[in-house]
Structure formats: C-alpha cells, structure tokens
Amino acid sequence: MKKIFSISLLLVLVLTTVSCSKDDESAEPTLIGTWEWSAKGNIDTEGNITNLTPYVNDCSSMKDSWLFTADGAFVMSESNSSCTTFYENFEYDLNGSTINYSGDGTVGSFIILSQTTNTLKVKFGNINRAVTANYYEFTRRN
C-alpha cells in the first residue's frame, strides 16, 4: 500500500511539473495590430539615422497610426489640425522584412528594420535607391 501511494504521489508531481512549465516566450512579435507614430527622421544608405525627432500629431486629441490585420489589410490613419481623420486603405504582403502594399492607386514598400512586441522601426520611401530615405518609429497601441 505504501508503495502504491509513493508511486501515485510521484506521478502527480511529475504531471504537475510538466503541465506547469513556462509558455514559450520566444515567439516572434506580430505585425498585426495598431501602431502609433512615435518618432521620425532620415536614414542613409549606411543605416545612419539623422534628424530623429518625436512625432507630433496635428490633432492633439488623436494619434496618427498604421493598422495591420491578419487578412492582409493595411490602413494608414492621419488626422489634420481640425481633427478630421483621413484613411488610406491598402492590401499588404510581408516578404521577409519587406512589406509591399497597394491600393487607392498607390503601390509602395517599406522595410522593417527592427521590431519588438511594442516597437516597430521602418525605412520608408526610396528603400532601394542610393539616397536618404524616411525613418519612422511606432509604438503598439494597447
């Protein structure tokens, strides 16, 4: 009887330990969600960032943002000083670190330079040319 009790106790301890292990925290951050502009600047062909300044929204009560959905929609949202919001709707395709988008008569792309769960840094415009491009930083909206 003592032996059965010991084996049962050992089995319970093993199952509890296995079922209570930590979740995998090394999952890749997702692009899906809303990203608010936080900084802007320029980036040269060698990756040097210059003129980096905090992003100032034209409407103080609204945040300009980019929205990416799981079904491939990409929406750029920007408000003017009268707090009127304008939306540009696109479809996007993620290919490695390059995002290609099209819609509203526009075709473009940008490169994700780095991303964490809460920050996104991109090179936008002139990405394949030997000239300075735009550099933007975003913070994930909660």
pLDDT in tens, 72-126: 999 999 999 999 999 999 999 999 999 999 997 889 999 999 999 999 999 987 6
| Contact predicate 68/33, CB 8 Å | yes
Determine the Cα–Cα distance for residues 111 and 117; give it in Å rounded to an integer.
17
Question: What are the chain's domains?
Answer: 30-140 (2.40.128.280)
Strand partners of residue 94 = 99
The pTM for the full model equals: 0.76
